[in-house]
Amino acid sequence: TIGINSSGEWRRRRSSTKTGYSNIVRCCNPVSYKKFVDFALDQTTTHTHLLPSPLQEKYNSMNSKDGKGELSMLSFQAAKIRLLRSLIIKSETMQVLDFTVFPKAEYDTPIFCANFFTTARTNIVVLDLNPLHDIINQGDYKEKYFKSLIPLGLKYAEHFPWGGKLTSESIKFFSPIVIWTKFTSSPQNYDILYSAFRDYYKVWLEMVGSAVKETDESQILRNLQAQHRYLTWRAEKDPGQGVLKKLIGDTLAKDLLRNFLFNGVDELGSKKFSDYFPQYCCDEDNKKRSTIGKSFESRPWDANGEFLGNIFKLR
């Protein structure tokens, strides 16, 4: 039985094992991210035929160094999907979902992105259909994929307040309907998060389903470069890196990031991080999270999905 006490504190859970009863301290959160992934896989199979990814053999499950945490990985591919992969982390102190789906380069559809970091008290959440191309300066791409979704974004923006300042470059990878939020752990919040996840995923599946295969080589190349740029950003700057390194060590964390989570970063293009993000060129080892700092204290889109931020900051 998983429960939560009124203050959202830890609770002791009695779990039965083959050998009897053992008391395991569990994070109070009555959330199971497996349910989210199960939903997504189930929905995906109603639209397309999922094939196991060649990555599955190597990346399936792993224990953390201290033996108290478990990482579970799943990966698939499909006719229009280059890679659908999920990572669930469960440890004594946190639960994490990193679920991302990358379309093939013949499609310019957004990348589905769900990143949830949960501890006993708090949650850091990004749920979005990450635009493949610039939606701040490129009106047609925004129009094509996001115009009709603005009401959906507003519906959840009401419940999930903007999460506050974030690495400035990240905003370019987010859409006008991004759910970027932080909230305290509660069953009600997880119910709404689950509902948002289902809504966003269903909408994304429809998008991919109706996407028409691009035949123009230059457009395909453009999509491929945008995918590679995205992978390069995330493989290098993912805020989860520190947590992963702590859990499984530097070498395994790096391998997981480059070869599983952001698979393709070493294959889909040859540009390096500093080619795409020259503003980081002079930072020592790219260690700084952002050279232009964090910004966007409040939601930088208005109710019509118009960008309100300072675009100059983003150059």
Binding mask 136-175 for ligand BLA (x = CB under 6 A): ------------------------------xx--x--x--
Q: What is the C-alpha separation between 83 and 234, in angstroms, rounded?
A: 15
309 binds ligand BLA (CB under 6 A): no
- Alpha-helical (H) ranges within the chain are 33-47, 139-145, 150-159, 187-210, 217-237, 241-248, 250-255, 273-276
Q: Residue 113 or 150: which CB sits closer to ligand BLA?
A: 113
Q: What is the C-alpha separation between 256 and 166, in angstroms, rounded?
A: 24
289 binds ligand BLA (CB under 6 A): yes
Q: Residue 240 or 269: which CB sits closer to ligand BLA?
A: 240
> b/e map of 31-61 (b: 16 or more CB within 10 Å)?
bbbeebbeebeeebeebbeeeebebbeebee
Instruction: At 45, list the tokens.
Output: 């199979």
Residue 189: how many other CB atoms lie within 10 Å: 18
CB of 3 vs ligand BLA, minimal distance in Å = 25
Residue 313: how many other CB atoms lie within 10 Å: 13
In 3-state terms, what secondary structure has residue 239? Answer: coil
Taking CB atoms, the residue at the shortest distance from ligand BLA is 240
Q: Which residue has the tokens 């980081």?
A: 280
**Cα-based angle 203, 204, 208 (whole degrees, multiple of 5):** 120
CB of 19 vs ligand BLA, minimal distance in Å = 31
Site for ligand BLA in 67-126 (CB under 6 A): 89, 96, 98, 113, 115, 117, 124, 126
62 binds ligand BLA (CB under 6 A): no
CB of 133 vs ligand BLA, minimal distance in Å = 14
Q: Residue 32 or 48: which CB sits closer to ligand BLA?
A: 32
234 binds ligand BLA (CB under 6 A): yes
239 binds ligand BLA (CB under 6 A): yes
269 binds ligand BLA (CB under 6 A): no
Q: Interface with ligand BLA by CB under 6 A: which residues? A: 89, 96, 98, 113, 115, 117, 124, 126, 130, 166-167, 170, 173, 234, 239-240, 243-244, 289
